[in-house]
Amino acid sequence: MDHTVHDVLLVGGGGAGLRAAIAVAETNPRLRVAVVSKVYPMRSHTVSAEGGAAAVINPADSLDEHAYDTISGGDWLCDQDAVEAFVQEAPREMIQLEHWGCPWSREPDGHVAVRAFGGMKKMRTWFAADKTGFHMLHALFQTTLKYDPIQRYDEWFVTRLLEDEGRVCGVVAIEMMSGRIRAILAKAVILCTGGCGRVFPFTTNASIKSGDGMALAYRAGAPLKDMEFVQYHPTGLPFTGILITEAARSEGGYMLNKDGYRYLQDYNLGTPQPKPVLRSMELGPRDRLSQAFVKEQEKGRTIPTPYGDVVHLDLRHLGVQLINARLPFVRELCLKYQNIDPVNEMIPVRPVVHYMMGGVHTDLDGATPMAGLYAAGEVACVSINGANRLGSNSLPELLVFGARAGRAAAGFASRQPEPPGAALAQFRDERRRIEERILGATGGSERVATLRDQMQEAMERGAGIYRTGESLAQAASALRALQQRSERIRLDDQSRTFNTELTTALELGFMLDVAECIVHCALQRTESRGAHQRTDFPKRDDARFLSHSLAKRGADGTPQVSYAPVTITRWPPGERVYGQPAEASQKAGG
Amino acid sequence: MPETIQLQVARYSPERDTAPSFQSFEVPCPNDWTVLDGLNHIKDKLDGSLAYRWSCRMGICGSCGMMVNGEPKLTCGTFLSAYVPGPVRVEPLVNFPVVRDLVVEVSDFMRKLRSVKPWLIRDDADAAATEEYRQTPAQLDAYRQYSMCINCLLCYAACPVYGLDPLFAGPAAIALAQRYNLDSRDQGAAQRMTVLSSHEAIWGCTFVGECTEVCPKHVDPAGAIQRYKLAAASEWFKHFLMPWGKSEGK
């Protein structure tokens, strides 16, 4: 048989996908729910998240403060109704995960402990030492094992969505083990495939982060939203790009330039204090810290290394006890991958591509404009992250919106007839494309790795931390040329069994589409906001650009960009203030 | 430091081969390259048909376990420089069926993991989650070590018992059962005991401790197995005890 049928199909088995699967099973236990993932779910990239997950739990904190931090952190591009729903539901979701066994770090009295995080005015970040994502993912995955209705397609690679008259009704996927290409029909599909950091050369993201879900939705006709907003995390290890968590700074680490000077004080981020101050200095937002690095570099105050310039993250004054208790993974990663011990040496770090604020356009229930298609987690853009996500908001986001999308898709699927068999014609087209035009192609001579390297180079040069109209136009034309060359890929491997060269070729196709959306959206947003900084348009322009970009695939295959309004409920756009004066501006927001 | 090092990589394609063979590649050997970097160099530049799993390259996703010079290792955390002047022999994890090249079939582990009920079991499971269960740092410490398992399966490759008796639940699954048994929030130890003591093979573990030796996350599966055997033995012994005040056996 060429196909199987489900009610709700999750594409991606990371935090969002597993949370959504449980939500479906709990909403309606009769539904046939399945998770299809190109890796075993516990390998998903959620596993790499380190620092923590924000949710208001302390009596001294409030939902409005979490909302305000998120909205100002996002440079007012967040949809405020979405943020309000998010901060309200985050605590319940975090407690739910605690009840599912997540080993949160604790206070002496047994309550869950919270830590400071960048851009957050109150301590509200729950953590499991510095392996928060790992523990969340394993707790979720192991919990899904008790739900009999949840079926899994482990190591199945999804290549396209199936649709019938505008309604999404399944996917085409390759079973890696056998190489068989199959259709999996479903009444509703939820994309939970995460981000696309691998379109850039230097990223914290795992090798599997190739924007699959974004490209699948885009090719099917759904718009991608706010794709120009790419988050650089300020502290990645040189060469590998391995993340050193923001928790290293929230526990009191210093950022130092080559003179041992806490340079962030020169960039309107407050004055240095010995102990960490919330929303100040090293606890400023990621976009501002990454931009400060480039300015330091321009002043010649960074440290050259074979893998590019770096600054130092200094944890030595924290002491071995605190580092072992709160940052054990940071120490392990430094020892193993950088051969330095942060207890008595400074860590070389540089900004590194970390997270996509943009993604598949959804509403508050994860619904896309296409019937039957939902998205949640990093692949989606609701938007709660606006122009810059705050650290520790992405983990609660995948719980809140994973659960919402799961419930909504379950409701939708319960009301739908069986998925139409008409879509199977598209399946046969897709199988032919893979078998004849990719696997069996003999005419071309291009290598996947060569094209991928050139794409990454074009993205870094043209669409990095600072961009110009010219740099972006060059990137756009480089990507067009690479799209054409990708038609002439020749694989070394024509076999079926676990053909990872075939999947890397398909991933390259996804990444090229996503990269084009990033570049075109960035080119047309002639302002600077959050993580999108145009040196030729250095000011924020609310009159023209207090709006979301929506990229749809045009007839010629290039992205067509239009705009949609931002939802403002209670916090009118203001100035982003970090350092001491932040108190005053927050009062204005209410 | 030499400029290159030789990787001898196990190759096997079920569509083409009847038995595995080795293929040698010269790869660059800078100080900061791992075995995984070497494999990626082969795939990108020399032979795109080489099949292996990898993802996070930071020792947390558990995908890239292989035999390196006969020892189970996470290749992303194993540096080529440790093997100079080479060669370095890279093979799929032993004790698992080989799918292709360096990729092994792990569904047996996935089944065993599920069989030990690795989730929090509560008598009051239906209660709404309105506030957290309390757990002190000391209670967290009681199971924390076992919660660090990344399911990389190096311990199964190292385990002499699993190699001989595929019914054995194996080090990681037992450690994860113990992770929940020792969690102060959990009430499911008795259910898991029933599952595990039905696996005869647990008695075959002679506590040689290879599983603990090879664990990249310092989990101690051997310790978990010994605790289990003690607990199971005393449970078995209790079958022969008459409960107080009962005139008949149960």
- By residue count, chain B amounts to 250
pLDDT per position as a tens digit, B126-145:
666 788 999 999 999 999 99
Distance to chain B for A178, nearest Cα, Å: 9
Buried b / exposed e across B152-189, counting CB within 10 Å, b at 16+?
A: bbbbbbbbebbeebeebbbbbbbbbbbbbbbbebbbbb
Name which of A255, A269, A377 is nearest A314 in CA terms.
Answer: A255
Output the six-digit token pair for A165.
């008259």
A386: phi > 0 → left, psi -120 to 50 → alpha, else beta; which? Answer: left
Contact between residue A412 and residue A187 where contact means Cβ atoms under 8 Å apart: yes
Which chain B positions have a beta carbon within 8 Å of A40's beta carbon?
63, 106, 110, 151
Average pLDDT, chain B: 90
**Burial of B244 from C-beta contacts in 10 A (0-12 / 13-18 / 19+):** exposed
Tell me the HSE value of A64 on the side-chain side, using a 13 A CA sphere: 9
CATH number of B107-241: 1.10.1060.10
Q: Which of A43, A96, A336 sits opposite B63 (nearest CB)?
A: A43
Please report which confidence band the pLDDT of residue A582 belongs to, taking 50, 70 and 90 as the band edges: very low
Lowest mean pLDDT among A248-262, A416-430, B23-37: A416-430
Nearest CA in chain B to A493: B49
Contact list, A135 vs chain B (CB under 8 Å): 147
Return the CATH fold of B4-104. Answer: Ubiquitin-like (UB roll) (3.10.20)
pLDDT (average), residues A67-88: 98
Residue B148: name the closest of A103, A325, A398 by CA.
A103
For the cut 70, the answer to whether the pLDDT of residue B77 exceeds it is yes
A171 touches chain B (CB under 8 A): no
Q: pLDDT band at B205, cuts 50/70/90?
A: confident
What 8-state DSSP symbol labels residue A201? S
Which residues of A are identified as catalytic?
Answer: 233, 249
- How many CB atoms are located within 10 Å of the residue A223 CB? 25
Q: How many residues does chain A have?
A: 590
**From CA A256, how far away is CA A264, in angstroms rounded?**
8
Where does B79-170 have alpha helices with state H? 107-115, 137-144, 154-158, 160-164
pLDDT recorded at residue A442: 83
Cβ contacts of B136 on chain A, cutoff 8 Å: 106, 108-110
Q: What is the pLDDT of residues B94-107, one digit of tens each?
A: 999 999 999 999 99
* Closest by Cβ to B58, choosing from A109, A145, A333: A333
A6-20, A227-241, B114-128: which has the minimum mean pLDDT?
B114-128
Collapsing DSSP to helix, strand or coil, A253 comes out as coil
Which residues, 6+ apart, have CB-to-CB distance to B74 below 8 Å? B59, B62, B64, B65, B152, B154, B216
The partner residue sitting opposite B133, judged by closest CB among A39, A98, A146, is A98
Question: Minimal CA–CA distance to B157: which of B223, B214, B218, B80?
Answer: B214
* A112 vs A580: which has the higher pLDDT: A112
Q: What is the pLDDT of residue A584?
A: 44
ipTM above 0.90, yes or no: yes
pLDDT digits (tens, 9 = 90+) for A298-326: 999 999 999 999 999 999 999 999 999 99
Convert the pLDDT of each residue in A548-581 to its tens digit.
999 999 999 999 999 999 999 999 999 999 997 5
Mean pLDDT of A270-278: 95
How many pairs of residues across A and B have Cβ atoms under 8 Å apart?
Answer: 168
Domain ranges of chain B: 4-104, 107-241
**Secondary structure letter of residue B69 according to DSSP:** T
User: What whole-number distance in Å separates Cα of residue A116 and Cα of residue A127?
Assistant: 10
CA distance A264 to A271: 8
What is the distance between the terminal CA atoms of chain A, rounded to a whole angstrom? 60
